[in-house]
Structure 1
Amino acid sequence: MDNKRLAPQIEQPLRHLLDPSYPLCREDVLWALGFIKKKVADGAPEWSGLDRPQLLAHFACFADMALLLLHRRSPSNQETECFRAMLSELLKHD
């Protein structure tokens, strides 16, 4: 995926996860964390322009969601908002 636009088959699940009325489930979070990990490893252009504080905030959010999964706990409203904000960065450049 060298272009800035995400493939439709990937963009749709991300948009679905951003819907505040959609409750996040474990499988959705696992998929999104895996997707984010791959995008970052591939040098995602969507995030290459972020400054250090933004990157650190995204990392903290990523780590929090991963730990929630390990402890089999549901995310709080604040954690869910943070996760959705992080995911929205992937869709900024449509």
Structure 2
Amino acid sequence: MNLDFSPFQLPPQEIERRKIEQMLDSSHLLCRDDLVWVLEYIKKKVAEKNPQLLELSQPRLLQNFHHFAEISLMLIQRRGGFDQEADQLKTWIHEAIFGLQPSPPAEPLAPKSFSFPSS
């Protein structure tokens, strides 16, 4: 999938939507820059106090944060590629950005039930 993200052709929201679609595409190989981009995207939406976040329940927000943290830790702990964990990372990305896009992907990538692992 070749995407030309010229800032003069598309509004920023459309560029963001397409970038996320590209990252979640099963044929796209994730790289470190993709993970940094999605973390920055989430950080920006939270800093802007995105109104869509206010519509999410507290448990859902905790779930989003949990997946944001998983992506962050994966980024910190890995030095090379992310090809072996690609499916897991794409699920975490999908879950971490849940509610930040006006129209989320039609099918969920992860099971609906969620629980924190015990320490």
For the criterion TM > 0.5, the same-fold answer is yes
Match of 1:81 in 2: 91
RMSD over equivalenced CA pairs, Å:
2.4
Taking the TM superposition and a 5 Å limit, the aligned residue runs for 1:63-74 are: 63-72=69-78, 74=82
Inter-CA distance 65–76: structure 2 relative to 1 (3 Å threshold): same
Q: Distance in 2 between matches of 1:88 and 1:6?
A: 18
Distance 1:91 1:6 in 2: 12
Q: How many residues align?
A: 90
Match 1:32 to one of 23, 31, 38: 38
Larger radius of gyration: 2
> CA separation in 1, counterparts of 2:91 and 2:33?
18
Q: Runs of 5+ in structure 2 lacking a partner?
A: 1-10, 105-119
- 1:46 corresponds to: 52
Structure 1 gaps, min length 5? none
After TM superposition, what 4+ stretches of structure 1 lie above 4 angstroms from structure 2? none
Deviations for 1:41-92, whole angstroms, at most 9, x for unmatched residues?
1111222210011100110100110011111163363343122233353223
4, 12, 17: which is aligned to 2:18?
Answer: 12
**In proportion to residue count, which structure has more helix?**
1
Percent identity at matched positions?
32
The answer as to whether partners of 1:47 and 1:90 remain within 8 angstroms in 2 is yes
Compute the TM-score of the two structures, normalised by the length of structure 1. Answer: 0.77
**Comparing both chains, which one has the higher relative contact order based on Cα–Cα distances under 8 Å and sequence gaps of 6 or more?**
1
